[in-house]
Amino acid sequence: MSNPPENMTRRRLLMAAPLAGAAIVGVGFWKMLSGMQHGSFNPHDINAPVLNRPVPDFSVPDQAPGQGFSAQDLRALTQPVLVNFFASWCIPCLAEMPTLMGLKDDLTMWGIAYKDRPENAAGFLKHSGNPFTRLGSDRDGRVGIDWGISGVPETFLIGPGGIIRWHSAAPLDVDTIRGTLVPLLESLKKS
Amino acid sequence: MMLRRLSALFLGCALLLAPVLVLAVDDPSEMLPNPQEEARAEAIGSQLRCLVCQNESIEDSSAGLARDLRRVVREHVAKGESNRQIMDWMVNRYGNFIRLSPPLSIGTLLLWSMPALALLLGLTTAFFAYRRRNAAPAAPPPLTAEEKARLADLTKD
């Protein structure tokens, strides 16, 4: 009361505090939602811990002769490879296959048949087309657990040196490939 | 007479089937032979989230992945690993999300202490507001010599 100008600035500051708070929250939400839209942020992604780590120790036996692979094969890579867990009993995998077939000329893909009989997996690939250059079989699902998958299809992008660069627990679609996968591959190529 | 015999037969069948029905819920071959180890495996499993039906523990869920994870837990228990080791093995693959009770971290600490913090903030605000309202109004500053002279001038008849 004794000095009104000081009182006024204090009052203004107090008025601005909630506005500033709301602005910060707004920017946070906007970043989160735009991340969700572009696929860079996924709150449902439950196995983020494998990201930017080397592939786990594993070995999948041949689904067809000479096609099985192991962690050593992935760690020896100099080019990125897409590893896809699929199963003949999985409807989303069937729906995903045309997308993978469209991608196979541009990106090497290795497949792991998850909890599937070899003859069923072979029949599935015969029917839908085979985008995979190597094919392993995870009959009891133990390799899947080491990779942290919770279902099929799940896809991992393995960068040079066998580092897991990206993961998707949903079937791949054209939007994800254009919006996330292609920019990621370009940045991997640069570095 | 016939009816009574039939109902007895029915009851007998039901009684015979009862244990089978109970066991069908969970495959007993999964259980460890050592009851102590089995109890430990169950305690660990009840702390692990089934990633398929996400609000159930792997001990409660009958999803394929939950069964696989139960088997993994039992293998590790049979190997003599500690609860901590098994939990770390799971977290390493699936992240903290697999733990039904989240660990203490800066984030969870802030979350859990938020009610207390909010209460503290409210009480502090209320305390200062109350004190300001009830504070005796400050004594007016003493009159300056000039004001005194003017007052004397005004009150003079």
A121 and A184 in a single domain? The answer is yes
A15 and A78 in a single domain? The answer is no
The per-residue pLDDT for B24 is 35
Which superfamily is assigned to B24-98 in CATH?
Cytochrome C biogenesis protein (1.10.8.640)
CA-angle at A139, arms to B29 and B48, nearest 5° = 55
The per-residue pLDDT for A129 is 93
Average pLDDT over residues B108-115: 94
Q: Out of A3-7, A23-27, A77-81, B147-151, which region has the weakest mean confidence (pLDDT)?
A: A3-7
The per-residue pLDDT for B12 is 60
Q: Is the pLDDT at B62 greater than 80, yes or no?
A: yes
Interchain CB distance below 8 Å, B94 and A47: yes
Answer yes or no: is A118 within a domain: yes
The per-residue pLDDT for A60 is 86
A33 and A69 in a single domain? The answer is no
The per-residue pLDDT for A105 is 93
Answer yes or no: is A43 within a domain: no
CA A65 – CA B83 distance, rounded (Å): 40
CA distance B69 to chain A (A): 8
For tokens 């999948």, the residue is A60
Nearest by Cα to B26 from B78, B73, B68, B67: B67
Question: Which among B56, B94, B96, B125 is the top mutation candidate for probing chain A, defined by the most A β-carbons within 10 Å of its own β-carbon?
Answer: B94
CB of B93 less than 8 A from some CB of A = yes
Each residue's pLDDT tens digit, A90-148: 999 999 999 999 999 999 999 999 999 999 999 999 999 999 999 999 999 999 999 99
Which pTM does this prediction carry?
Answer: 0.72
Question: Which among A47, A57, A90, A143 is the top mutation candidate for probing chain B, defined by the most B β-carbons within 10 Å of its own β-carbon?
Answer: A47
- Taking the CB of residue A121, how many other CB atoms lie within 10 A of it? 25
The per-residue pLDDT for B28 is 75
Restricting to B residues 109-138, those with a Cβ less than 8 Å away from any Cβ of A are none
CA distance B92 to chain A (A): 7
User: Could you give the ipTM of this predicted complex?
Assistant: 0.76
Mean pLDDT (chain B) is: 84
Q: Is the pLDDT at B18 greater than 70, yes or no?
A: no
Interchain CB distance below 8 Å, B93 and A148: yes
Contact A90, A115 (CB under 8 A): no
Each residue's pLDDT tens digit, A37-95: 876 677 666 656 778 888 888 888 876 666 889 999 999 989 999 999 999 999 999 99
A98 and A184 in a single domain? The answer is yes
Answer yes or no: is A136 within a domain: yes
Contact A107, A100 (CB under 8 A): no
Interchain CB distance below 8 Å, A49 and B92: yes
Percent of chain B with pLDDT over 70: 83
CA distance B16 to chain A (A): 34
Specify which of A167-171, B28-32, B120-124 reaches the highest per-range mean pLDDT. Answer: B120-124
What domain range includes position A4? 1-38
A22 and A103 in a single domain? The answer is no
Residues of B in contact with A145 (CB under 8 A): 65, 68-69, 72, 93
- Phi and psi at residue A63, to the nearest 5°: -85, -40
Which CA distances in Å does B104 have to B28, B96, B97, B101, B110?
Answer: 35, 11, 13, 9, 10
**Domain containing A172 — which CATH number?**
3.40.30.10
Interchain CB distance below 8 Å, B68 and A150: no
Each residue's pLDDT tens digit, B33-55: 999 999 999 999 999 999 888 88
- Could you state, in order of their start, the residue ranges of all structural domains in chain B? 24-98
A145 and A77 in a single domain? The answer is yes
Residues of A in contact with B98 (CB under 8 A): 46
Q: How many domains does chain A have?
A: 2
The per-residue pLDDT for B156 is 83
Question: Which among A145, A147, A164 is the top mutation candidate for probing chain B, defined by the most B β-carbons within 10 Å of its own β-carbon?
Answer: A145
The per-residue pLDDT for A127 is 93
Interchain CB distance below 8 Å, A49 and B91: yes
Closest chain A residue by Cα to residue B65 = A150
A23 and A52 in a single domain? The answer is no
- A:B CB pairs within 8 Å: 40
A104 and A154 in a single domain? The answer is yes
Answer yes or no: is A71 within a domain: yes
CA B140 to chain centre: 57
Q: Is the pLDDT at B5 greater than 70, yes or no?
A: no
